[in-house]
Amino acid sequence: MQKRNVKSGALSLAALPLAFAGLFNTASAQDAAPPAMTAEEKAVGKKIYFERCAGCHGVLRKGATGKNLEPSWTKKDKDGKETSGGMLKLGTARLEKIIALGTEGGMVNYDDILTKEEINVMARYIQNVPDVPPEFSLKDMQDSWKLIVPVDQRPKKQMSKINLKNIFATTLRDTGKLALIDGDTKQIWEILDTGYAVHISRLSASGRYVYTVGRDGLVTLIDLWFEKPTTVATVKLGSDARSVDTSKFKGYEDKYLVGGTYWPPQYSVMEGDTLKPLKIVSTRGMTVDGEYHPEPRVASIVSSHIKPEWVINVKETGMILLVDYSDINNLKTTTINSAKFLHDGGWDITKRYFLVAANASHKVAAVDTKTGKLAALVDTKKIPHPGRGANFFHPKYGPVWATGHLGDAVVSLISTPSAKPEHAKFKQYNWKVVEELKMPGAGNLFVKTHPKSHHLWADMPMNPERENAEVNYVFDLRDLSKPPVKIDVAKDSGLPVTKALRRAVHQEYSQDGTEVWISLWGGKTDQSAIVVYDDKTLKVKKVITDPKMITPTGKFNVYNTMKDIY
Ligand code: DHE
């Protein structure tokens, strides 16, 4: 995650260019020897780096959302000089300060998470040459694959009476578990083990299977047709992963799963109902600037509804891959140049265009999946972070897709094309930021609406101020000139105030679009909750809390995720 020390309003990114300028830098002969470390300290550093730092800085420390942390920048010169080519060389004392307190450039403060000793270990660890984790081959995947319940031993029909379409697959981040919550009764149906720091869930096209991916690369396949949700297969994709999606095109429903890894930089194709590994494709190669990158990580993946195709977004190269899965042995791929540091994104209202944030480039790239071409590169405010974004009809500009920003206090509305003759008058606005809705601060992660709603919800969990991090703002889509309504999720939860911030994060609508579920993401030892709101009245309907409800973050409603409704 990017930041907890972001200031309200615009975020200074003064420090970020350093990371990118240093992207291809190698250590100079002038550099001093790295600080000494015992084997035990190295092991601690390696573990903390993977768990806390690699997501933003990269395994090889070449930088992306976070700065370049190669020894050539982190270590002082032999002669003690602190600068090289205008770049600051850091050294232990300065690095300790940065790790403890964070920076204006977006670095999180760790003084409340790591001990003084751990901070010192990390300051020394990142002056040493990065540890390169092993590669992960098809054989490694096959060896990790566990088919727990073969297809012929699974139910032939749904065994429970539960309304499966309104189940919420809920990430319990720090426990490595997934809670399946019945959206009708608001009762926890089952809690299952998944991967480490479990990240997202996606649904099979039929809605029967839930796929959950952990940051350790473990994919868990859960069958909802049993009396109780049951894990039927698991497989490892690599050592660090963030994304999966299924095959959603007609005729391929539930047939394939694709998973992307941060390490090794590659994507893998598996059988949809067993997770049997079929193929791995590396994403190493050239950036849009024509430079080789050894660690182009796979960020968001989405499955097309109009073609047997996945949209695979490669972070560091800025390449968007359209992968045709109709013939896995003779894979056809269209490679589209966009902008570096691709991250998360979603469909426009027609599901023809996929819009993805090139977050550290402060742009949104739009791909036309019908023509297989880049439709637009839209300049936005700092660090767009849409989640999957939100689609609605703007009274003045027609169909728009919304994204919030980690680095600025606005929600940007981008006009998207429509083939409807009555929308021809909106064509002039297409691919422009037509409006920026004001938020009280930066640090937004997710926005959400629903076709049946006239509300747009926006969170700010990465804002450092309690009054911002613990709330959501709701805009009225019928009149965007009205100030948004503040929803105090922490207060509405009725839980006692805790020392640590409880971030109000990620909104998800119920199947019928009448309720909005928001996670109140507390500390690992604090009681967390999901607060359910009536979307019409904006009043609390239910607080779902339980001693097992630890660090809930993302929630994925079966129907809305299956159909990509947002
Ligand atoms: Fe996420 C989506 C990567 C930290 C909650 N996150 C995504 C996607 C990517 C990504 C690439 C898009 C997946 C897709 O659509 O296929 N996330 C990363 C990181 O690299 C990062 C910044 C740092 C890290 O080390 O992992 C990161 N993410 C977080 C969190 O700390 C969050 C807030 C809490 C958590 O559970 O870990 C978090 N990310 C989410 C959620 C989604 C997501 C809830 C899916 C949003 C949706 O509505 O689809």
- Determine the average pLDDT of the residues in 163-191: 97
Whether the Cβ atoms of residue 136 and residue 236 lie closer than 8 Å to each other: yes
Q: Categorize the per-residue pLDDT at 535 as very low, low, confident or very high, splitting at 50, 70 and 90.
A: very high
Residue 312 lies in a domain: no
Q: What is the pLDDT of residues 22-46, one digit of tens each?
A: 222 333 434 567 899 999 999 999 9
Cβ neighbours, 10 Å, residue 59: 23
Q: Does residue 113 sit within a domain?
A: yes
User: What mean pLDDT is reported for the chain?
Assistant: 91
The predicted pLDDT at position 18 comes to 28
Containing 501, the helix (H) or strand (E) segment is none
Reported residue count of the chain is 566
106 pLDDT tier (thresholds 50, 70, 90): low
pLDDT-derived band at 81 (thresholds 50, 70, 90) equals low
Distance 261 CA to ligand 1 centre (A): 13
What is the atom index within ligand 1 of the atom nearest the CA of 506?
Answer: 44
Confirm whether 69 is domain-assigned. yes
The CATH number assigned to the domain holding 36 equals 1.10.760.10
What atom in ligand 1 is closest to the CA of residue 243? 16
Residue 78 is predicted with a pLDDT of 56
Residue located nearest, by CA, to atom 26 of ligand 1? 55
| Residue 270 belongs to a domain | no
Percent over 70 (pLDDT), the chain: 91
Instruction: For residue 540, tell me if it sits in a domain.
Output: no
Domain span including residue 105: 17-125
Q: What is the model's pLDDT at position 6?
A: 38
Q: Which of 293, 343, 405, 455 is catalytic?
A: 343
In angstroms, what CA-CA distances link 10 with 7, 340, 410, 414? 7, 22, 9, 20
Report the pLDDT value the prediction gives residue 14, as an integer from 0 to 100: 30
Distance 129 CA to ligand 1 centre (A): 28
Provide the 3-class DSSP secondary structure of residue 362: coil
- How many separate domains does the chain show? 1
Q: Sorting pLDDT into bands at 50, 70 and 90, what band is 88?
A: low
Statement: residue 13 has pLDDT above 90: no
| 147, two tokens | 């088919």
Task: Give pLDDT tens digits for 445-477.
Answer: 999 999 999 999 999 999 989 999 999 999 999
How much distance in Å is there from the Cα of 62 to the middle of ligand 1?
A: 20
What is the reported pLDDT for 77? 62
CB of 199 closer than 6 angstroms to any ligand 1 atom: yes
Question: Above 50 in pLDDT, residue 11?
Answer: no
**Residue of 501 and 334 predicted with greater confidence:** 334
With a cut of 90, say whether residue 388 has pLDDT above it: yes
Determine, yes or no, domain membership for 496: no
In this prediction, residue 25 carries a pLDDT of 33
Q: Taking a C-beta distance cutoff of 8 angstroms, is the pair 300, 93 a contact?
A: no
Q: What is the pTM of this model?
A: 0.91
In a domain, 106, yes or no: yes
Would you place residue 9 in the very low, low, confident or very high pLDDT band (cuts 50, 70, 90)? very low
* 45-59, 87-101, 348-362: least confident range: 87-101
pLDDT at 366: 98
| pLDDT tens sequence across 112-157 | 789 999 999 999 999 999 999 999 999 999 999 999 999 999 999 9
Beta-carbon neighbour count of residue 184 at 10 Å?
12
Is 47 within the bounds of a domain? yes
Q: Give distance in angstroms: CA of 75 to centre of ligand 1.
A: 31
Q: If phi over 0 gives left and psi between -120 and 50 gives alpha, with beta otherwise, what is residue 451?
A: alpha
Please indicate whether residue 385 is annotated as part of the active site: yes
Higher pLDDT, 321 or 104: 321
Task: Describe the crossing of helices 92-101 and 116-125 by its angle, rounded to 10 degrees.
Answer: 120
Question: Which pLDDT score, from 0 to 100, does residue 79 have?
Answer: 56
* Tokens representing residue 524 in the block: 């690992």
